[in-house]
Amino acid sequence: MAAMDDALHHQRCAHHELATALRDQAGRPGCRGAARAVALADHRSESVGESLSRVLLVQAGLGPDELQHEFPHSNGVDRVDFWWECGVVGEFDGQLKYRAQAMPGMSPDEVLWAEKQREDRLRRRGLVVVRWTWDELLHQPEVVVARIREALATARAAPRPS
């Protein structure tokens, strides 16, 4: 699915082309799994980690309401990886975004500070922010699922700011 997400994200193909290619292979081994992947494939996924996270979340019955949801603020927009309308934000944290080459002109310290400020803005909106890493995704997926379940329960029980 990560390969499909990447192809869609970089406009190497359209979703209907994936579905057509799958129909052309009907009955071959792996078609059922491929059909599930095509159904979940989404151009908004921006990394392998986000794609694998989405598979985990959907399998756990915790599929997000939206990918790459945007929250405008006075100086721009804060975009989040995963959004649940009850007020939960999910963020897959790969190390690449904290490296200087990921944000030209910014040191890793500046990138980290900007990310902290972004999360603070999200929390001031009354949102619950949940983060997870590659290590957790690959080696402790049950921890990621438990963290999301807890955040969703907390958000659903809390009064929503107007």
Condensed to tens digits (0 to 9), the pLDDT of residues 60-100 reads 999 999 999 999 999 999 999 999 999 999 999 876 666 65
In a domain, 138, yes or no: yes
- Element holding 130 (H helix, E strand): strand 128-133
Question: Do 147 and 82 share a structural domain?
Answer: yes
Percent of the chain with pLDDT over 90: 66
- Element holding 63 (H helix, E strand): none
In a domain, 61, yes or no: no
User: Can you give the pTM of this predicted structure?
Assistant: 0.86
With a cut of 90, say whether residue 26 has pLDDT above it: no
Domain of 99, in residue numbers: 66-157
In a domain, 57, yes or no: no
- Average pLDDT on 95-123 reads 80
Show the DSSP H helices in 10-140 as ranges: 15-24, 31-40, 48-59, 108-124, 134-139
Note whether 140 and 56 are within 8 A (CB).
no
Give which of 40, 48, 43, 45 is closest to 22, Cα–Cα.
40
- Average pLDDT on 158-162 reads 68
In a domain, 162, yes or no: no
Looking at 10, 28, 43, the residue that finishes a domain is 43
* 141's tokens: 């997926």
Question: Do 70 and 10 share a structural domain?
Answer: no
- Give pLDDT, residue 103: 67
